[in-house]
Structure 1
């Protein structure tokens, strides 16, 4: 029987025809995604669900999706999909991360022009029969300094377009190496320097714990007088109230915003301010972009349903059905190893070296490599997946090397990941026990045996008495339960580490208490996705 797909959002007829041409039974019901009760009623009939942003794939919907094998999102954002529940159900979640990059970059450039020349206000004035030529004195882009926060896929395109406009481009991106920056023709700088030098600032980063409010009141105050700020990335990256105050005071000369902290944005501090151009999240809203992502998702879903090939999956490695059963725990281990190093590394990464020893060395190393790199990159880009991660790493000039060797130690197989930066090398190794559970077995060359938990705390210290007591007492006094406690040291009296598996992550004041003891050289909370 042919697979059956439901298209519950407005995809193009060309995309729908791709399913038909591939021999897939497809129902095109572009409004049913807005009717959650109807969607829950019929979803059990389908093997695949193709959506945009209107359809909300909740736990309730998935509970009724007994046949569903794949959800395809035409676009990059998957906030409207319960990915944890989909994973539990064995449903693959795919997106199309590269289909709207040019469109979004062009919109940022368009807003930059609009703000520089006050085009919307000048247009409204002229339509009103006024001829206020002297009122709308603009500035040229040529020769100005553009500060790009986030020089990945979209930010990289903006850099290229800005250089074509003869702008001086400086970029802040923790994962942008100096060699890659040089090839892009941009100057790599730290955030504080970007804020003080840029005539225009444009944001191209995802919304994460690290990027939330990156243009805070404090950081906005560091900008040079007359700066203009563009945001086509995500709401919540800029303190909108603080920005509104700086525009009103004249410190900021203008802003162009396509995204807002709360959407739909029917009321916002930036509305009705002079030389502020606002658009209703139009970054991906071009005919070409919408068509591209629709065609891509139809092809990806068809490939999976007909051949088992997996492309741009957010919750599954790109492996064959035969490999999946054996490799599953190793893929998860690879992700955990990458996530550990990714959370520990703040400076730009130059190289990632991966060693496979013993039984794991005979597996699909490409998939395992992708899982390691995705784990590392998720710290700054939660939308990254196993397909896009190596592409992003290459674009940022990160060298990825792999070594495989015969069994050389006590374990049947293990993976060791080493990250190289300009300042240091950092390594971690792990294995999979017979119960299928990943374990950390070595950190910084120090042997350990640590179970992986959702919430963990990593500390380093000199090997002196009192460490265990201090950690235990501090956690206990603050109501944080320790599920597992692992210690290791290089030698008696030398460097030592502790890895705590906790029931909940300790609040920041608790971490500060540990730091204040003077016993620890590092106190780092870590999070791991176990689903």
Structure 2
């Protein structure tokens, strides 16, 4: 029996035809995504669901989808898909991460031109028959300094286009390598320097805990007078209230926003201010981009349903069906090891080496490498998956190598990750026990046995009395319960570490209280996808 796919959003007829040409039974119902109850009543008939942004693949919908095997999102954002629920149900979630990069970058450049020359206001004035030529005095882009926050895929394209416009381009990106910066023709700087130097600032980062409100009130105060700010990345990266005040005072000369903290943005503090250009999240809205992502998602879903091949999956490694049963726990371990180092590293990484010891050295190491990279990069970019991670690593100049060896210790197999930066080398190792659960077994050369949980706390200190008591007392005072507690040390009185598995993530005041004791060299909350 042929697989059956439902297309519940507006995909192109060409994409729908791809399913048919591949022998898949497809129902094209582009308005169904807006009718939650109707969609819920029929979803159990389908093996695949192809969507854009209108359809909400909620936990309730996924639970009702008794036959669903794959959800394909035409585009990069998957905010409308409950990925944890899909994972628990065994449903693969795919996206198309590279289909709209050029389109989004071009929109940012267009917005920069629009705000530099006040094009929307001048157009409205001219349409009204006013001919206010002297009112709309713009500025040239040539020779101006563009500050790019985030020089990844889209930001890198913006850098390239801006260099072509003869702008001086400076970039802030903790993971931008010197080689990559040189190839782009940009100068790496710290954020404060970018704020002080840039005539234009454009943002190209995902919204994470580290990037949320990155242009805060304090950051905006550091910018040079007359700066113009462009955001075509994600809402919530800029303090909109503070920006509105800076625009009114004249400190900021203009702004161009395609994304907003609350969307749909039917009202916003930036609306109707002079020289503020606003568009309704049009970054990916070109005919070419929409067609590209639609065709890609149709091909990817067809490949999976017909052959089992997995591409651009957000919740599953790219491995064969035969490998999946054996490799699953090891893929999760590799992700955890990468995630640990990613969350601990705040500077550009030069090289990553993965050592595979024993039985694991005979597995699909390409997939495990991808899982390690994905875990590492998700600390700063939640949209990264196992397919896109190697491409991004290469663009950032990160050299990944792998080493294999026969069983060399008490474990039948383990993975050891070594990450090198300009200032340090960081190592962590882990294994999978017979219960199928990943464990950390060594950090900084110190042996431990730590179960991996969703919320964890990592500390380093000198091995002195009172550490356990201080951790327990401080966490208790902040109502954080300890599920598991692991300690390790080099030897008495020297370097020691603690890794705590917590029921909840400690709040900032709790972390500060621990730091203020003066007992710890590091206090770092960590989060893992431990589902």
Question: In the alignment, is residue 185 of structure 1 matched against residue 211 of structure 2?
Answer: no
* Alignment match, 2:112: 112
Task: After TM superposition, give the deviation of residue 472 of structure 1 in Å.
Answer: 1.4
Question: In the alignment, is residue 237 of structure 1 matched against residue 275 of structure 2?
Answer: no
* Alignment match, 1:372: 372
Corresponding residue SS for 1:460:
strand
* Alignment match, 2:250: 250
* Alignment match, 2:361: 361
Corresponding residue SS for 1:134:
helix
Task: After TM superposition, give the deviation of residue 319 of structure 1 in Å.
Answer: 0.2
TM-score (norm: length of structure 2) = 0.99
Aligned residues: 531
* Alignment match, 2:383: 383
* Alignment match, 1:326: 326
Task: After TM superposition, give the deviation of residue 352 of structure 1 in Å.
Answer: 1.0
Quote the Cα distance in structure 2 between the aligned partners of 1:71 and 1:127: 46
Task: After TM superposition, give the deviation of residue 184 of structure 1 in Å.
Answer: 1.1
Quote the Cα distance in structure 1 between the aligned partners of 2:132 and 2:122: 8
* Alignment match, 1:77: 77
Q: Cα deviation per residue 1:482-511 (whole Å; 9 max; x = unaligned)?
A: 111111011211100001111111211111
* Alignment match, 2:341: 341
* Alignment match, 1:518: 518
Any residues of structure 2 matched to 1:126-165 within 5 Å, and which?
Answer: 126-165=126-165
Quote the Cα distance in structure 2 between the aligned partners of 1:475 and 1:524: 13
Corresponding residue SS for 1:148:
strand
Question: In the alignment, is residue 268 of structure 1 matched against residue 268 of structure 2?
Answer: yes
* Alignment match, 2:167: 167
Task: After TM superposition, give the deviation of residue 183 of structure 1 in Å.
Answer: 1.4
Task: After TM superposition, give the deviation of residue 188 of structure 1 in Å.
Answer: 0.6
Any residues of structure 2 matched to 1:487-502 within 5 Å, and which?
Answer: 487-502=487-502
Q: Cα deviation per residue 1:364-387 (whole Å; 9 max; x = unaligned)?
A: 000000000000100110010000
* Alignment match, 2:503: 503
Quote the Cα distance in structure 1 between the aligned partners of 2:10 and 2:256: 28
* Alignment match, 1:435: 435
* Alignment match, 1:88: 88
Quote the Cα distance in structure 2 between the aligned partners of 1:492 and 1:204: 47
Task: After TM superposition, give the deviation of residue 229 of structure 1 in Å.
Answer: 0.3
Corresponding residue SS for 1:75:
coil
Question: In the alignment, is residue 55 of structure 1 matched against residue 44 of structure 2?
Answer: no
Off by >2 Å, runs of 4+ in structure 1: none
Moved more, 520-529 or 128-137: 128-137
Task: After TM superposition, give the deviation of residue 473 of structure 1 in Å.
Answer: 1.6
Quote the Cα distance in structure 2 between the aligned partners of 1:530 and 1:351: 26
Any residues of structure 2 matched to 1:405-416 within 5 Å, and which?
Answer: 405-416=405-416
Q: Cα deviation per residue 1:234-272 (whole Å; 9 max; x = unaligned)?
A: 000000111011111111110100000111111111111
* Alignment match, 2:195: 195
Q: Cα deviation per residue 1:385-429 (whole Å; 9 max; x = unaligned)?
A: 000011111011111111111111110000011111111111100
* Alignment match, 2:176: 176
Quote the Cα distance in structure 1 between the aligned partners of 2:512 and 2:387: 38
Quote the Cα distance in structure 1 between the aligned partners of 2:439 and 2:20: 46
Task: After TM superposition, give the deviation of residue 478 of structure 1 in Å.
Answer: 2.4
Q: Cα deviation per residue 1:448-467 (whole Å; 9 max; x = unaligned)?
A: 01110111110000011111
Quote the Cα distance in structure 1 between the aligned partners of 2:351 and 2:266: 46
TM-score (norm: length of structure 1) = 0.99
Quote the Cα distance in structure 2 between the aligned partners of 1:49 and 1:460: 47
Quote the Cα distance in structure 2 between the aligned partners of 1:205 and 1:442: 33
Quote the Cα distance in structure 2 between the aligned partners of 1:434 and 1:372: 21
RMSD across aligned positions (CA): 0.7
Corresponding residue SS for 2:134:
coil
* Alignment match, 1:464: 464
Corresponding residue SS for 1:115:
helix
Corresponding residue SS for 1:221:
helix
Quote the Cα distance in structure 2 between the aligned partners of 1:300 and 1:60: 25
Moved more, 119-128 or 361-370: 119-128
Quote the Cα distance in structure 1 between the aligned partners of 2:141 and 2:101: 22
Q: Cα deviation per residue 1:109-163 (whole Å; 9 max; x = unaligned)?
A: 0000001111111111111111211111110000000000000000000000000
Quote the Cα distance in structure 1 between the aligned partners of 2:511 and 2:199: 38
Quote the Cα distance in structure 2 between the aligned partners of 1:336 and 1:352: 15
Moved more, 310-319 or 488-497: 488-497
Task: After TM superposition, give the deviation of residue 476 of structure 1 in Å.
Answer: 2.1
Moved more, 165-174 or 475-484: 475-484
Task: After TM superposition, give the deviation of residue 60 of structure 1 in Å.
Answer: 1.1
Quote the Cα distance in structure 1 between the aligned partners of 2:332 and 2:51: 27
Quote the Cα distance in structure 1 between the aligned partners of 2:120 and 2:58: 40
Task: After TM superposition, give the deviation of residue 28 of structure 1 in Å.
Answer: 0.2
The runs of 5 or more residues in structure 2 that have no matched partner are none
* Alignment match, 1:293: 293
Q: Cα deviation per residue 1:184-211 (whole Å; 9 max; x = unaligned)?
A: 1100111000000000000000111111
Task: After TM superposition, give the deviation of residue 477 of structure 1 in Å.
Answer: 2.5
Any residues of structure 2 matched to 1:201-220 within 5 Å, and which?
Answer: 201-220=201-220
* Alignment match, 1:30: 30
